[in-house]
Amino acid sequence: MTTQSEHWLARNFREVFAFPDEAVEWLLGVWNVIQLFDDMADAGCVKRDDLNRAIWGAMVGVPENTFYQKHKAFLTPLVALQIFKWQASDAAERDGKAGAMSYVWRAGYYDLVLATVFLVHGVQSATDIGHRVMELYGENFADYLAEFTNA
């Protein structure tokens, strides 16, 4: 299932950031895998089609993507870092310590988007439009905190 967020990200990746198709596909593949794993961790209902899509993405689509293959040495440590940040955020949330730091750690995906700006367009573009990448993050801090005060 393609979500509204995924469509919005894809449009921004293509129209605002002018990423090549393989970069868009890689970023969306990572997005889909992250979303499914997060839903599973939150004990949410995961549809079989979404699970199958994420399995394919994690095992074949993301690692075999030509953009990723070209920049693997740069991107792999960044992906690892995002995993560590998500795990740290999740641990803080489960310990009842959700706050500004866990909110920021949870937004690590956008570090990958900014890295893609750098890889595709260079240092100056990453410097000039980095703030536009961070504006993609769809969850505001108040809504994030409300998830834990209402739980």
What length does the chain have?
151
State how far the Cα of 8 lies from the Cα of 15, in Å rounded to an integer: 10
Q: Confirm if 50 and 1 have CB atoms less than 8 A apart.
A: yes
Mean pLDDT of all residues in 69-87? 96
State how far the Cα of 141 lies from the Cα of 41, in Å rounded to an integer: 21
The ranges assigned to domains in the chain are 4-149
The string of pLDDT tens digits covering residues 6-33 is 999 999 999 999 999 999 999 999 999 9
The string of pLDDT tens digits covering residues 32-54 is 998 888 778 777 777 888 888 88
Q: Which among 139, 83, 92 is positioned nearest to 111, based on CA atoms?
A: 83
Mean pLDDT of all residues in 140-151? 78
Query: Cβ of 138: how many Cβ atoms within 10 Å?
Result: 11
Tell whether pTM > 0.85: yes
